[in-house]
Amino acid sequence: MATVDECRNVLEKMAGKVSKKSDELQLEDDFERTLAVEITDLNQVFSAKLAGGKLTDLLDGDAPDAEVRISLDSEALIRIAKKEIKPAKAFLRGRIKVKASVKDLAKLRKALKVD
């Protein structure tokens, strides 16, 4: 099991990768979403904003009004960051759960695929 600090560091690195590939995302300028990432085994929630193709304002704490909610355990997060498991495979195996509209999922597919 990873620590809260390790998970925060991984999410910050992922946010940086999303920002670097913002030109490829082809999101409308007005596309803004609040994301909540729940680390289930640590009982920790992080929230962030996706706006202008950039993932910003990563904060400790829940965003109850988040349009996109991602749940996973710390091991899955670390393994995804180390490229030991692909996000799609983790999703299909039930290691990651995502609550969002189908429209948002389609738009966020590239943003959340942080190679």
Read out DSSP for 48-95? EEEETTEEEEEEES--TT-SEEEEE-HHHHHHHHTTSS-HHHHHHTTS
Indicate the pTM of the whole model.
0.85
- The residue type found at 77 is L
pLDDT at residue 104 in the model = 86
Q: How far apart are CA 39 and CA 99, in angstroms?
A: 14
Is 60 exceeded by the pLDDT of residue 113?
Answer: no
Superfamily designation of domain 4-106 = SCP2 sterol-binding domain (3.30.1050.10)
105 C-beta neighbours (distance < 10 Å), count: 13
**Considering the chain, what percentage of its residues have pLDDT values greater than 90?**
57
pLDDT of 11-58, one tens digit each? 999 888 776 666 665 666 677 899 999 999 999 999 999 887 788 899
Q: Where are the domains of the chain?
A: 4-106
101 C-beta neighbours (distance < 10 Å), count: 12
Instruction: Specify the residue for token string 């099991």.
Output: 1
On average, the pLDDT of the chain sits at 86
